[in-house]
Amino acid sequence: MSKPFITLPKLTLKALFDNSVENYSDKLAVRVVSEEGMSYAEFGEKVKVVQALLIEYGIGKGDKVALYSTNMPHWPVVYFATVTMGAVIVPILPDFHTNEALHIASHAECKAAFVSNKLFQTMLDESQPPSMNLLVELDDLGVLKDYSFPSAVDMVMKKGGEHLNKAMGKLGRENVEIEVEEEDLAAIIYTSGTTGSSKGVMLTHKNLAFDASAGQHLVDIFPEDRFLSILPLAHTYECTVGMLIPILNGASIHYITKPPTPSVLIKAMGTVKPTFMLSVPLVIEKIYKNKVQPNFQKNFFIKFLYSIPFIRRKLNKIAGKKLYETFGGKLRFFGVGGGGISPHVEFFLREAEFPYCIGYGLTETAPLLAGTNPSVTKFKAIGPIIPEVESELRDKQPNGSGTLWVKGPNIMKGYYKDPEKTAEVIDKEGWFNTEDIGYFDEDGYFFMSGRAKNTIVGASGENIYPEQIEAAINAHELVADSLVFDDNGVLSARIYLDPEKLDSYLGVTSKSETKMHAKVEEVLEEIRVGVNEKVSSFSRIRKVIEQREEFIKTPTKKIKRYLYVEAPKK
């Protein structure tokens, strides 16, 4: 029997948070792995403290508050303190450069900024946004800089400082209660930090609360569930699915304070024994290529056995059980989002009976648009569009695929201060252009072919989706990553070979640089020929280029294509 849906009296983040604090007060809410955490009751009290501080410094409904930090329990505290008092949160990815972070804070006219200890120096230079009143260190919630008066600067407060106590006392006396409505702006999420091209996605309370509630259609979540958070909270994927959804359901969230290297992850998973995890494709693809695939290629005999279907299925099931234990042995849901997963890896996960599923969405859709749960996945499919969201395919091709347009309660209000760009993606009837191309099967599952803006038109007018060719290239054991592009009419691929595996394969100590270069060229040509045997005739690669340095990527580990693809010559 399924768990009853949680129905909120109002689709606001305030209603969501108040409901959880009231109903799960004694349950664990957030913590750092292996450290003592906060219960929902303590979480609620901490939110009031931060709200008091904001009010003390003149921040009120509609004012913008920047949040520039790595993941930690105070991140959701500041998030909810801001949105539940009607102010607007502006999360900034910790990967963004100082100049990008300052540009965002200035563009959004933030009046306050909460910055983690490691990053706070970036907000202390002379280029502070003129609207800024307050700068707070997130780790300890200590005031670092007070911009309220010219003479009051560099007010460094002690942990849990007297200023917070004073503000809390003031809040208690005034008994502040701010009404928050569904259509009120809750967050501005910047999809890029590059000056001049930033797009601030405006998400309302209804957008986010609806999207979090929609998660209940996909999978049951209980207060006993444990989420291990490994993706940046400033990204909408982790923020909604990895924070709002578990908090709505009274589950606990566990953060790691170090970069999620394999050793750090394995230790954390062993400690937390998570039941839910969210990932991007690169994480599980790396685990497969580095930990699983080599076991099936140890020698000719094992390779031969693995080529026999019924033996392969048994071997994959055994490997899947070991992988499951590595993840803590309690996992019910391993969600993959932020990009398409390699079919090669997904095929293994299916035969391994690993509890994976694919989610799909965009920042502009808060972000969840489509998905399913591990028990009903389909190979290469995402899943149905979430309830109450309309969808249609436009500019359909003869094969049935088209550009996905959607309309519903999770569609953004628009781009901040940019009505022109907003009008480019949202039509007069409120339909949003995802710019993703795909098709629906008879069960309503969405299959995505690729991004419209990445699509390459072949010599005879065929649509070539580089993501599909890249998946075939990346399946090669020596390939770390690749990028397929149109080089003025020549379908080409930049290929970044795994340095460690390449060194081992080539035996670098015994070869000159000239011989090594020739060998690399042979490897690249071998990859090209092998891939061309697996793709359609019009998608065959004609040229391969060695990418000697790792690709520069977004926080969700997608290659920044524009850095490597030149505009076509006229």
Least confident residue range of 152-156, 283-287, 424-428, 476-480: 152-156
Name which of 66-70, 112-116, 173-177, 353-357 the model is least confident about.
173-177
Q: What integer is the mean pLDDT of 145-159? A: 42
Name the average pLDDT for the chain.
88
Cβ burial 81-103 (10 Å sphere, 16+ → b, else e): bbbbbbbbbbbbbbebeeebbbb
pLDDT confidence of 322, banded at 50, 70, 90?
very high
- What is the side-by-side order of every strand in the sheet holding 402-407? 390-394, 402-407, 432-440, 446-451
Compute the distance between CA of residue 551 and CA of residue 563 in angstroms, rounded to an integer.
9
Whether 447 and 499 map to the same domain: the answer is no
State whether 129 and 98 are in the same domain.
yes
**Residues 445 and 497 reside in one and the same domain:** no
State the Cα–Cα distance between residues 526 and 278, nearest whole angstrom. Answer: 35
Answer whether residue 5 is part of any domain. Answer: no
Burial of 306 (0-12, 13-18, 19+ CB in 10 A): middle
Same domain for 434 and 541: no
Q: What is the mean pLDDT of residues 181-191?
A: 96
- Per the domain annotation, does 271 fall within a domain? no
Q: What is the pLDDT of residue 120?
A: 74
pLDDT at 515: 79
Read off the CATH number of the domain in which 188 is found.
3.40.50.12780
Condensed to tens digits (0 to 9), the pLDDT of residues 495-534 reads 999 988 888 877 765 566 777 888 889 999 999 999 999 8
Taking the C-alpha atoms of residue 87 and residue 109, their distance in angstroms, rounded to an integer, is 12
In whole angstroms, what is the distance from residue 564 CA to residue 475 CA? 21
CA atoms within 13 A on the CB side of 444: 12
Would you say residue 244 lies in a domain? Answer: no
pLDDT tens track for 360-398 = 999 999 999 999 999 999 999 999 999 999 999 999 988
Same domain flag for 446 and 485: no
pLDDT confidence band for 491 (50 / 70 / 90): very high
The amino acid at residue 181 is E
Looking at the fold, whether 497 and 435 belong to one and the same domain comes out as no
Q: Give me the phi and psi of 109, to 5 degrees please.
A: 55, 50
So what's the pLDDT on residue 455?
81
80 and 135 inside one domain: yes
Please check whether residues 401 and 489 belong to one and the same domain: no
pLDDT(152) > 60:
no
The answer to whether residues 454 and 465 touch, using CB atoms and an 8 Å cutoff, is yes
Which residues, including other chains, have CB under 8 Å from residue 277's CB and lie 6 or more apart? 227, 228, 230, 327, 331, 333, 334, 335
Phi, psi for 427 (deg, rounded to 5): -85, 180
Q: Report the C-alpha gap between 75 and 82 in whole angstroms.
A: 11
Question: Final residue of a domain: which of 188, 206, 224?
Answer: 206
pLDDT score of 511? 60
DSSP state of 328: T
In this structure, are 17 and 74 located in the same domain? yes
Q: Is the dihedral of CA 272, 273, 274, 275 positive or negative?
A: negative
Structure tokens at 300: 């000719």
pLDDT at 239: 97
Q: How confident is the model at residue 155 (pLDDT cuts 50, 70, 90)?
A: very low
Residue 238 lies in a domain: no
235 located within any domain? no
Inter-residue contact 466 to 475 (CB < 8 Å):
no
| Residues 6 or more apart whose Cβ sits within 8 Å of residue 428 | none
Domain of 290 in residue numbering reads as 280-412+423-452
Do 460 and 431 fall into the same domain? Answer: no
Task: Read off the pLDDT of residues 27-37 as tens digits, 9 standing for 90 and up.
Answer: 999 999 989 99
Q: Give the pLDDT score at 117.
A: 87
* pLDDT, position 450: 85
Q: Is residue 338 domain-resident?
A: yes
Per the structure, the count of domains in the chain is 3
Q: Which of 142, 172, 206 is the last residue of a domain?
A: 206
Residue 159 pLDDT > 50: no
**CATH code at position 502:** 3.30.300.30
pLDDT of residue 131 exceeding 80, the answer is no
Tell me, yes or no, whether 308 lies in a domain.
yes
Picking from 168, 189, 206, the residue at the C-terminal end of a domain is: 206
Considering the domain architecture, whether residues 525 and 513 belong to the same structural domain is answered as yes
Which residues make beta-bridge pairs with 553? 559
Tell me, yes or no, whether 430 and 535 share the same domain.
no
Residue 274, in any domain of the structure = no
